[in-house]
Amino acid sequence: MSLALLFAGQGAQKVGMGKSLYDNSAAARALYDEANAVLGWDLKAISFEGPDADLTQTKVCQPALFVHGLALLAALKEQGRLAEGDAKFALGLSLGEITALTAAGVFDFATGLRVVAERGRLMQIACEQSAGGMAAIVGETRETVAKLCAEFDVETANFNCPGQIIISGEKQKIVDAVAAAKARGIKKAMELNVAGAYHSRLMAPARDAFAKFLETVAFAAPRFMVFTNTTGKAVSEPADIRAALVKQVVSSVLWEDCLRSAQAAGATSFLELGPGGVLAGHVRRTNKEWPVKSMAEFADLSAQGQ
């Protein structure tokens, strides 16, 4: 069996995530304790206790999801349910790409955490300095959504799975695009409750600052195959990985393409390590024949196993 690990993106977070891992797994506990030391603020308290308004902040939820995903992975390995070499592929949605790269050895834990924390900090600043929004368009083709975006000067942010596309841009333009979509009979168009226009040109200041930050970070070649959201294809050269992480801040997330590429490369099953089960849903909507499991808390490890 060739396993592909999936790591969550922003929006999957929920108060309480990871507490059962911290309470029951020494390996997970070590990562949470190290995270607090690296960050200099109490990630554990916000993850485990909230409040939700604090956890939802971009600068908080991105490192929180990163640590949660790797804590699940560490707990699985600690239990002997995931041996070295069992995972042949890793991919993550948006910030989850950094989690996937860390799982594959491109960064050590502390370095990956610093990378995702800086990304989240810079993206939050960009959100606060712009009036952006996002919306989900459901049940339409990429071509139809591309035409809508061109007409209203907004951008496609996420291609999550067949018929689920997210658009991003200036708030009023998103409002206008949603109204037009509904008027034209598009099955479902709805604004999303987000802090800004992620994966659009409004994130350009964050991209530019992130590029400068990443110049100071060492990248190793991944130990197994990782896919980048920017192309939906595998990426392996450290310089290419760095460039992809920079571009990803403002470019479309080709998540469906990543899933298809993993399967085409030989992935025979998918394992989502993160809260909410969203990514497992994307896998099923892409191809219901692909085996997929989702793990979020300690009980899931023993209940589902490997």
* Helices and strands in the chain, H and E counts: 14, 10
Q: Is 45 exposed, middle or buried (0-12, 13-18, 19+ CB in 10 A)?
A: exposed
94 is catalytic: yes
- Which of 279, 295, 242 lies closest to 12, judged by CA? 279
Neighbours of 22 (CB within 10 A): 20
| Structure tokens belonging to residue 296 | 């979020």
Q: Within 13 Å and on the Cβ side, how many CA atoms surround 100? A: 31
Residue 257 dihedral angles phi and psi, to the nearest 5°: -65, -40
Which is catalytic among the residues 199, 200, 252, 261?
199
Find out whether 35 and 63 touch, Cβ atoms under 8 Å. Answer: yes
Query: What is d(CA 91, CA 6) in angstroms, rounded to the nearest whole number?
Result: 5
Tokens of 40: 């200099």
Query: Is residue 199 among the annotated active site residues?
Result: yes
Say if residues 138 and 188 touch (Cβ distance below 8 Å): yes
Burial of 214 (0-12, 13-18, 19+ CB in 10 A): middle
Whether residue 51 is preceded by a cis peptide bond, meaning omega within 30 degrees of 0, is yes
**Crossing angle for the helix pair 142-152 and 171-183, nearest 10 degrees?**
130
Residues β-bridged to residue 92: 7
* Contact present, 160 and 232 (Cβ < 8 Å): no
End-to-end Cα, the chain, rounded Å: 10
User: Locate tokens 């809508």: which residue?
Assistant: 148
The residues carrying an active-site annotation are 94, 199
